[in-house]
Amino acid sequence: MKAIILDGTKSDNNESTKIFDLMLEELKKLNWEVISIVLEDKNIGYCTGCFGCWVQTPGECVIKDYEEEVVRNMVHSDLIIYLTPIMFGGYSSILKKALDRQIGRVLPYFTKVDGEVHHSKRYEKEQSLISIGLLGKHDTEKEEIFKMLVARNAINMWAPFQRAIISLKGENESGFSNNFNKALMEVEAIL
């Protein structure tokens, strides 16, 4: 069982270090093989919107930088984990930079999913998605948007299981670990 953590937080954030460590602990307990990528430290350029990853070098971005490692590892994983501060309800720009560059994981062709248009799968193997959003204080609107975004991403990228977990600043650690552990068990159950 392989998991990749895409850490889209800033290095000066104590809260994210704590959550990151708690996640690793749970993953290790359940024998997950983990690759974690601290995106802030990596040389990853912005998507230019050229669709080269669909029509020029299919499946690969035409920009050659660290993102290639990110996508390669995503494709080989059973589980993708996002870690991000919740920015206006959505992801941080650091995380999003990596996500904009991974659309080569699906094909350009349109297909319908539950009556709505999406893209067809490129790879047989599917990746579940757990997304951890860090929030300073409770905010129903932001939390709902974050959950909706993760659910929408899961449809677009063919994730068989998705869960958004919101971690509030100063929240007790066992609460987070329990929620995360429960999500991991659900991912395992469908492997």
Partner 1 sequence: MNKNDNVLLLVGSPKGSSSTSNSLGDYLISCLEQLGLTATKEYIYKLIKKEEGQKKLLAKVEEAGMIILAFPLYVDCLPAGVIKALEFIADHRKSKRDREKQGFAIIINCGFPETQHNNTAIAICKVFSREVGFEWMGALSLGMGGAVGGGSLEERRGMVRNVIKGLDLAAQALAEGKDITDEATEFFGKKFIPISLYTKMGNMGWNKQAKKYGARKKIKDQPYL
Ligand X SMILES: Cc1cc2nc3c(=O)[nH]c(=O)nc-3n(C[C@H](O)[C@H](O)[C@H](O)COP(=O)(O)O)c2cc1C
Write out the residues near ligand X by the rule CB under 6 A: 47, 49, 100, 103, 156
- 47 counts as binding partner 1 under rule CB under 8 A: yes
As a whole number of angstroms, the distance between CA 183 and CA 81 comes to 11
Whether the CB-CB separation of 32 and 25 falls below 8 Å is answered with: no
The binder of 66, among ligand X, partner 1, none, by C-beta within 5 to 8 A per type, is none
Among 24, 66, 89, 171, binds partner 1 (CB under 8 A): 89
Residue numbers 96-115 binding partner 1 by CB under 8 A: 96-97, 99-100, 103, 107-110
Point out which residues pair with 167 in neighbouring strands: 134
Within 10 angstroms of residue 113's Cβ, the number of other Cβ atoms is 12
- 63 counts as binding partner 1 under rule CB under 8 A: no
Closest CA to 15 of 180, 166, 178, 139: 166
Pick the piece of the chain touching partner 1 (CB under 8 A) from 21-29, 56-64, 127-135, 166-174.
Answer: 56-64
Whether the CB-CB separation of 137 and 169 falls below 8 Å is answered with: yes
- 65 counts as binding partner 1 under rule CB under 8 A: no
Q: Tell the smallest beta-carbon distance from residue 171 to ligand X (Å).
A: 31
**Three-state DSSP class for residue 128:** strand
The binder of 88, among partner 1, ligand X, none, by C-beta within 5 to 8 A per type, is partner 1
State which residue, 97 or 163, has the beta carbon closest to partner 1.
97
Residue numbers 123-142 binding partner 1 by CB under 8 A: 123, 141-142
Pairing of strands 106-113, 116-121: antiparallel
Q: Which residues contact 129 (CB under 8 A, 6 or more apart)?
A: 79, 80, 81, 82, 150, 153, 154, 157, 159, 161, 162, 163
Q: Tell the smallest beta-carbon distance from residue 69 to partner 1 (Å).
A: 10
State which residue, 21 or 69, has the beta carbon closest to partner 1.
69
Q: Tell the smallest beta-carbon distance from residue 159 to partner 1 (Å).
A: 12
